Amino acid sequence: MPDLHLEARDGLALITFDRPDSKVNLLASPVMLRLEELLGDIETRIARGEIRTLLIRSAKPGNFIAGADLDELARFEDARSVTAISRRGQEIFLRLERLRVPTVAAIDGTCVGGGLELVLACDYRVASRDRKTRLGLPETRLGLCPGLGGTVRLPRLVGLRPALDLILTGRQIGAIAAYDMGLVDRVLDAPTFDEEAVAIATAFARDAQPLETRRRSAVARLIKDGLPARWLTHRLMRRSVFEHTQGHYPALPEALDVTVRGLGMSVKQAHDAEAQAFGKLAATPESKNLISAFRLVGDAKKRRPTGTAATVNHAAVIGAGVMGAGIAELFAFQSIPVQVVDTNENLVRTGIDRARALLERVAKRVDWSDEDLQTRRDCLVAVTDFADLGQTDLIVEAVLERMDVKRAVLGQLEQHIPASTVLATNTTALSISELQEGLDRPARACGLHFFNPPHRMQLVEVVRGARTDDDTVATAFQLALRLGKTPIVVEDSPGFVVNRVLAAYLTEVGHLLQTGMGVLTIDQIMRRFGMPMGPLRLVDEIGFDVVAQISETMRRAYGERFVPAPIVAEVLNSGVTGRKGGGGFYIYEGGKAKRVNRDVAERLPRSAEVPAVEPADARERMVLRIINEATLTLDDGVVDDPETLDVAMIVGAGFPPFRGGLLRYADSLGLDRIVDRLQHYATLVDSRFDPAPGLVERKMFYDY
């Protein structure tokens, strides 16, 4: 069966995308050639008067078109070849746009990248009111710009600023937001979407009704997108792009330029500029690394662990604090009934209110109706007695980060729940194997490490204790996927993966503070490297108390290389708590860092006029500690392979994806060179830089 097929009846032609043996449709080259062939057939039949309207739809539940085939794109090395592919696709979409009959796109499910560019070439767009219907242009997240006319048609349809918002952020919006923007012309109810879409197209075919599209007037376009407005928008956004990316993502300024300048060109010139930009970007190392990172994360979700996963129909979260409420919201978002448990009824109510507030914020982004929101609010149930947990399939314990407290809670829980219930503890660094001691059913216990805040952070570490069985791991992994997260399976080890590697990084940051290097200097060094925030901003975000706990756990477990600099204890005991308390290394107002905290800065050593450590050396020391500890983590068998570790660092620690992954970046530097530099610092600074055996023994982490 072909990826798309054509049928015609009563003056209506229907093109249906349906890629065989796949859950999603992709615009691979054979699909584009087939589309071109069908358009030729349609043109002939239009000339004979047989077709009066074209409807384009998908047969895939929850998916319209998910964009280009990245595997195919990765095979092209040079810009010229990719530019030619872009031009060819543009020509096909121009042919669709120029059909002499109304064209209707019926969007039900994911419509992103080339899929959105295809529907932009249609006259009329209807979308389903379903949370799976998402529209966007994510190309810049892959180091690219739209290449099939998206930078040309979108700003002419919705205006320059809304178009740039979608193109530069790569974010996806729902059907209602798309309607409000003018991107779609009608929103239809999901249960009857197919029938209504066909009815609309059929009415056009039978009655030649005029299309009531949401087009802006020429006057509105001139006022909002005239030359002065374009110039100002371009200037302001270019500055903002650099501030946010430090120049590491060339796709963003390129996409900005081609979109803004394209509005002042003819359509033909604008398409040509877009194709040139697309080809140039596809050949950059940043794009290749971003695509590699994207595929790494996608593959991680497909690597299901051994064991049979049970379906979680009822869940509970023990602990109604900030973390517990955040985890409970994840269950409610997916319409999974969840009991929020605390012995203090006021705390439970506060936790549920916090979770419901998170749901209400989400509702504004995903086009929920009032009924949709209420259904999810009702999933959150307050409980103060463990005896009420008899129907739970999985429980997440999220109480105080102390071994004695967690063991006591888990032991009590076991007396009130079915033997099949999975007991998952949310811990940053405590031993799962030790928590299993004293449990009657240790095989049903595991770690489920969510990162803070749970509604934003995508990584979940599924931790296998010494006695955890395969079915428990499989159930926890499958649940994390269902909650919309990226799970990885890790063996029980202090700090697991992310916190262990981050602890090494932050330990080195402490030693740099000890030399007199300033807070802003350290943070700026790593921002320029590509980290989403500097390490001291990260400490504020995590919280001084949590950092202190993790630091002590790592020191006890791994010894000298995690011994903190003397200044660290003074800062951690200074009374500040981080962002949650309004101040840490920075002062926060309205949740945003405003300035360096003078009270903390005055406690820090001051550098001489000639700095003890040059910025380039400071950056190298921090990055080498990250690579070295990651290698030791891999050597210790905490994860099975470099791919899993790279996913953990990209998704959980914010390692810059334009570098392709931490260990892929190490390969690009050369392991011999890394070992040489580590030995240099081990001699010059301290033995904490002693190279990991795996760095000495390997030639590379990946087989290329």
Q: Is the per-residue pLDDT at 219 higher than 50?
A: no
Element (H, E) at 391: none
In the numeric block, which tokens belong to residue 25?
A: 């449709």
Q: Is the per-residue pLDDT at 296 higher than 80?
A: yes
Whether residue 517 sits in one domain with residue 385: no
Q: How many CA atoms lie within 13 A of 671 on its CB side?
A: 18
CATH code of the domain covering residue 253: 3.90.226.10
Whether residue 265 sits in one domain with residue 229: yes
Query: Are 618 and 528 spatial neighbours (Cβ–Cβ below 8 Å)?
Result: no
Q: Is the per-residue pLDDT at 221 higher than 70?
A: no
- Which has more confidence, 651 or 572? 651
Whether residue 478 sits in one domain with residue 379: yes
* CB neighbour list of residue 266: distance below 8 Å, 6 or more residues apart: none
pLDDT in tens, 154-193: 999 999 999 999 999 999 999 999 999 999 999 999 999 9
295 within a domain of the structure (yes/no): no
Whether residue 527 sits in one domain with residue 458: no
HEC per residue, 465-533: CCCCCHHHHHHHHHHHHHCCCEEEEEECCCCCCHHHHHHHHHHHHHHHHHCCCCHHHHHHHHHHHCCCC
CA angle 626, 627, 631 (to 5 degrees): 115
HEC per residue, 282-336: HCCHHHHHHHHHHHHHHHHHHCCCCCCCCCCCCEEEECCCHHHHHHHHHHHHCCC
Min mean pLDDT across 27-36, 366-375, 395-404, 656-665 is at 366-375
Whether residue 683 sits in one domain with residue 545: yes
d(C-alpha 608, C-alpha 581), whole Å: 32
The pLDDT, as a whole number, for residue 132 is 92
Whether residue 324 sits in one domain with residue 410: yes
53 within a domain of the structure (yes/no): yes
Parallel/antiparallel/unpaired status of strands 445-450 and 459-464: antiparallel
E-strand stretches of 190-239: none
Q: What end-to-end distance do the CA atoms of the chain give, in Å? A: 35
pLDDT in tens, 478-512: 999 999 999 999 999 999 999 999 999 999 999 99
43 within a domain of the structure (yes/no): yes
Which of 149, 94, 421 is CA-nearest to residue 273? 149
Of the listed 254, 329, 414, 461, which one is catalytic?
A: 461
621-640 average pLDDT score: 98
4-23 average pLDDT score: 93
CATH code of the domain covering residue 443: 3.40.50.720
E-strand stretches of 113-184: 124-129, 135-136, 172-173
Q: What are phi and psi of 512, to 5 degrees?
A: -70, -40
Token pair 């120029």: residue: 98
Q: Is the per-residue pLDDT at 429 higher than 70?
A: yes
Q: DSSP 3-state assignment of 355?
A: helix
Whether residue 379 sits in one domain with residue 352: yes
Which of 561, 560, 562, 541 is CA-nearest to residue 550? 562
Mean pLDDT over each residue of the chain, to the nearest integer: 93
461, 491, 521 - which closes a domain? 491
Give Cα separations from 17 to 23, 29, 66, 134, 644 (angstroms). Answer: 11, 14, 11, 17, 34
Q: pLDDT > 90: what percent of the chain?
A: 83
558 within a domain of the structure (yes/no): yes
379 within a domain of the structure (yes/no): yes
Whether residue 264 sits in one domain with residue 374: no
327 within a domain of the structure (yes/no): yes
Whether residue 356 sits in one domain with residue 241: no
Whether residue 477 sits in one domain with residue 447: yes
The pLDDT, as a whole number, for residue 505 is 98
Min mean pLDDT across 77-81, 133-137, 691-695 is at 77-81
pLDDT in tens, 520-572: 999 999 999 999 999 999 999 999 988 999 999 999 999 999 999 999 988 88
467, 491, 515 - which closes a domain? 491
Boundaries of domain holding 269:
4-283
283, 303, 335 - which closes a domain? 283
d(C-alpha 683, C-alpha 110), whole Å: 55
Q: Is the per-residue pLDDT at 245 higher than 80?
A: yes
461 a catalytic residue:
yes
306 within a domain of the structure (yes/no): no
Query: Are 702 and 666 spatial neighbours (Cβ–Cβ below 8 Å)?
Result: no
Whether residue 542 sits in one domain with residue 459: no
Give the ranges where 128-226 is alpha helix by DSSP (H): 150-158, 160-169, 175-181, 193-207, 218-225
Q: Identify the DSSP state of 430.
A: -
The pLDDT, as a whole number, for residue 212 is 61
294 within a domain of the structure (yes/no): no
- Which has more confidence, 92 or 21? 92
315-336 average pLDDT score: 97
Q: Is the per-residue pLDDT at 646 higher than 90?
A: yes
Number of independent structural domains in the chain: 3
**C-alpha R_g of the chain:** 28
- Which has more confidence, 3 or 609? 3
Chain Cα centroid distance, residue 451: 13
Q: What are phi and psi of 270, to 5 degrees?
A: -65, -40
HEC per residue, 533-574: CCHHHHHHHHCHHHHHHHHHHHHHHHHHHHCCCHHHHHHHCC
Whether residue 385 sits in one domain with residue 324: yes
pLDDT in tens, 343-380: 899 999 999 999 999 999 988 777 788 899 999 999 99
d(C-alpha 438, C-alpha 462), whole Å: 21
The pLDDT, as a whole number, for residue 208 is 56
The pLDDT, as a whole number, for residue 586 is 96
615-624 average pLDDT score: 98
